[in-house]
Amino acid sequence: MDATAIILAAGEGTRMKSNHCKVSHKILGKPMVQWIVDATIKAGCSRVVVVIGSHADEMRALIDGTYANSATKVECVEQTERLGTGHAVKVALEACGITQGPVVVLNGDLPLITADTVAKFAQTVATGELACTVMTMTPPDPFGYGRIKLGADGQIERIIEQKDCTPEQAATLLECNAGCYAFDGAQLAAHINEIGNDNAQSEYYLPDMLEILKGHGQAVSIFHCDDYRDGLGVNSRIQLAQLTAIARDRINEHWMAEGVTFIDPTQAWIGPDATIGRDTVVWPQTHLIGHVTVGEECQLGPNSRLTDTTVGSGCIIDETIAIEAVIENGVDCGPRAYLRPGTHMLDGSKAGTHVEIKKSTIGEGSKVPHLSYIGDTTMGSGVNVGAGSITCNYDGVHKHKTVIGKDAFIGSDTMMVAPAQIGDGALVAAGSVITEPVPADALGLGRARQVNIEGWAADYRRRLHEDDEA
C-alpha cells in the first residue's frame, strides 16, 4: 500500500510528570511510539514519518536506533516550534515532500491501535472519493472525548468538544473522536496552509482541515473502530497502567487461542514481539520482553523474566532471568538462575539453583547444578560442575577464557583461574585452585596440604576461658 503514516510525537506529556518524552514510556517492555510505528509498517505503509520535538535526541535514538535497517522507510522530522497539530503535519509534509497518496495521521500515544485498523483507515481515502476521514470510536464512557455530529448526508457536520456539549448532546452523541485522520495526500498538501491560528493558544489545529476541505467541496466522513480500545490514548501514569493491562489481556488471549496454557493470565506479561509454541505452560509472574521466541511444551516460570532470548522446546525455565541468551531444547534452568548476554545452553544442559552464566557455551547434556559462576567459557558435552565452582575470568583489566573439555568432572568449590584449560575426561578434585592446564583424562589437584595439630582447639578454648576470668 503506497500510503504514508505521520505519527505525532512532539508533545511534552506534562501529565506524565516525567523526565522523558511521553511516548518513550513502555508498555510490556516496548516504548509506546514503537507500538504505533510497527502497526503502520505491518499495515503496509510505504513510509513512516515521526514528528518529534520534546526530548528530540531521546526520540531519535528510539526511532533511528530501532528502524535503521527497516525495509520500510522510517524517519524523524523535528518540529522545533510546537505550534499545534496542524503545524506538525505541515512540517512533516514540507520536510518529506509528501504530495499524494493516502496520508494517515496518528497520535504517538495510541499503543493499542492495530495494523488491521490502520490499513482499513488508509483505504478509506485511497480511491479519491473522500478527502478526509476521522477515526471514531464508541467507548463505554465517552466523557472527555469530542463528540461527532453527522449530517443527513453522512458527512461530519461538526466535532463538539466535551466542554461545549449540552446535556442532551452528551447523552445522545456517543460517537467519539479518536484524534486520528486519514487524508487524500493531494488535498492535504494543497490546503494545509489554509489552517489559521486565530484562537486562544495561537496554534494551528489539524481538525480545522475538515471545514477547509468541506469549503472546497470535498467529502469528509468517519471511520468507526470496531474495537474502541484501538483509539485509547495515554496521558497519565494511570492510563499507562490501564492500557498495559489491556495489551496484556489481548496478547495472552491470542496465545491461549494458539494452544498455550496460562495458569493466571492476569499475572503473565508477554511483549508484542514474543512468540510461544503450543502446549507451553506459562506460570504467574512470567515476563517475556523484546524479541523472545519460546518453543513447544515448555514450562515458563513462575517468576521468570526473559529478554531478547530464544528458548527451544521441552525446556523448564523456573525462576530464571535470561538476557540475550540462547537456550536449546530440553534445557533445565533454575530456580534462581541468571543467564547473562552471550549465554548459549545446548540441548539437554542445565543451569541450576543460584547459578550465573555469562558469555559462555554450556555443552550438550552438561550440568552446572548449583551455586556456581561460569563466565567466558566454552564447555564441551557431558560436563558436570560441582557446587560453588567459579571460572575466575577477570584480572581487573581484561577478561580471559576458560575451556572445559567434554565429559570433564569439576569437583565442588573449584576455582578455575583463566585462561584455564581442562581436557576431555579430566577430573578436578574438590576445593582446587586450577592455574595450569589439566590434560585429558588426568586428575587436577590444586589445594593446600591439610595439617592437623592435636589438642590445639582444646588448648585455645582453655586460654579464652582464662582470659575471661582475668
306 Cα distance to chain centroid = 11
Residue that is written with C-alpha cell 472546497 in the block: 216
Question: Is the Cβ–Cβ distance between 86 and 80 less than 8 Å?
Answer: no
370 catalytic? Reply is yes
Using alpha carbons, list the distances in angstroms from residue 282 to 29, 113, 309, 316: 18, 26, 16, 11
447 is in an annotated binding site: yes
9 is in an annotated binding site: yes
Is there a binding annotation on residue 19? no
Identify the burial level of 275 via C-beta atoms within 10 angstroms of its C-beta, where 0-12 means exposed, 13-18 middle and 19 or more buried: middle
- The answer to whether 450 is a known ligand-binding residue is no
The 3-state DSSP class for residue 432 equals coil
The three cell numbers of residue 215 are 469549503
CA neighbours within 13 Å on the CB side: how many for 415? 8
- On whether 84 is known to bind a ligand per the annotation, the reply is yes
DSSP 406-423: TT-EE-SS-EEESSEEE-
Pull the grid cell for residue 157. Answer: 457536520
The grid coordinates of residue 269 equal 506479561
> Any known ligand binding at 146?
yes
Residue 313 and residue 334: Cα distance in Å, rounded? Answer: 16
Residue 203 has phi, psi (to 5 degrees) of -115, 165
For residue 11, say whether it is annotated as part of any ligand binding site.
Answer: yes
Confirm or deny that 208 is annotated as ligand binding. no
The answer on whether 8 is annotated among ligand-binding residues is: yes
Catalytic choice (20, 55, 370, 398) = 370
Q: What is the DSSP string of 214-233?
A: HHTT--EEEEE-SSGGGG--
Q: Is 235 annotated as a binding residue?
A: yes
Asked if 307 and 325 count as a contact pair (C-beta separation under 8 A), the reply is: no
Q: Which residues pair with 421 in a beta bridge?
A: 403
* Residue 399 annotated as binding site: no
Q: Is 10 annotated as a binding residue?
A: yes
Three cell numbers, residue 182: 486519514
Please indicate if the annotation marks 147 as binding a ligand. Answer: no
Residue whose cell numbers read 550440568: 367
Residues forming a β-bridge with 327: 311, 345
- Size of the chain in residues: 470
300 carries a ligand binding annotation: no
Contacts of residue 434, Cβ cutoff 8 Å, sequence gap at least 6: 414, 415, 416, 417, 420, 422, 428, 444, 446
90 labelled as ligand-binding? no
Phi and psi dihedrals of 414, rounded to 5? -100, 130
Name the one residue in this structure whose C-alpha cell is 473522536: 177
Q: Which residues are annotated as a binding site for Mg(2+)?
A: 109, 235
Q: Which residues are annotated as a binding site?
A: 8-11, 22, 79, 84-85, 109, 146, 161, 177, 235, 340, 358, 373, 384, 387, 393-394, 412, 430, 447
Q: Which residues are annotated as a binding site for UDP-N-acetyl-alpha-D-glucosamine?
A: 8-11, 22, 79, 84-85, 146, 161, 177, 235, 340, 358, 373, 384
Active-site positions read 370
Q: Which residues are annotated as a binding site for acetyl-CoA?
A: 387, 393-394, 412, 430, 447
